[in-house]
Amino acid sequence: MSYLTKAWPGCSEFMTSLQALDDDEYRNATANFRNLSSHAIAPRFNFGITSTVRRSVAPKTVLVPLPNGYFARQEQDKLGVEYAIGGVPPLRMRTAFELNLRQWNVAKTIFSAYVQLLDAALATLPLQSG
């Protein structure tokens, strides 16, 4: 929590509940559907595999021969393009529904904490006649 938010009454409850939304557990369970549906190709529902080939930028590696005849990967200072083969299986509708229902309940908690935070902050403002 930042220095500014510490001064707000009730901010810790709000920040705690806000950090529970779209957490790592949800992202892993949905294969990061929320982000990918806006910025890339999201997992499908019920059928269809996505991301069978994945392109990424990573430290470039070269194969260096070892004395025993084998090779070892050695990272270079340069970046390079890397491809991976795999795939993201489809999300089951029932699972997605249950996960999103939990997220909706988290969002309700966040909204309640926000209303309490806003009420407390507004109560500190001086009244002006007008």
**Per-residue pLDDT tens for 7-31?**
676 788 888 888 889 999 999 999 9
DSSP 8: S
- Dihedral of CA atoms 116, 118, 120, 125 in degrees, nearest 10, equals -170
Confidence at residue 59, expressed as pLDDT on a 0 to 100 scale: 92
- Strands annotated E in 39-126: 53-65, 71-85
Confidence at residue 102, expressed as pLDDT on a 0 to 100 scale: 96
Confidence at residue 15, expressed as pLDDT on a 0 to 100 scale: 85
> Which residues sit opposite 80 in a β-bridge?
58
Alpha-helical (H) ranges within 40-92 are none
Which residues of the chain are under the pLDDT cut of 50? none
List Cα–Cα distances, 107 to 22, 63, 93, in angstroms: 10, 49, 21
Distance CA 60, CA 74 (A): 8
Nearest of 120, 124, 99, 86 to residue 26 by alpha carbon: 99
Domain ranges of the chain: 3-49+90-123, 53-86
Distance CA 79, CA 82 (A): 9
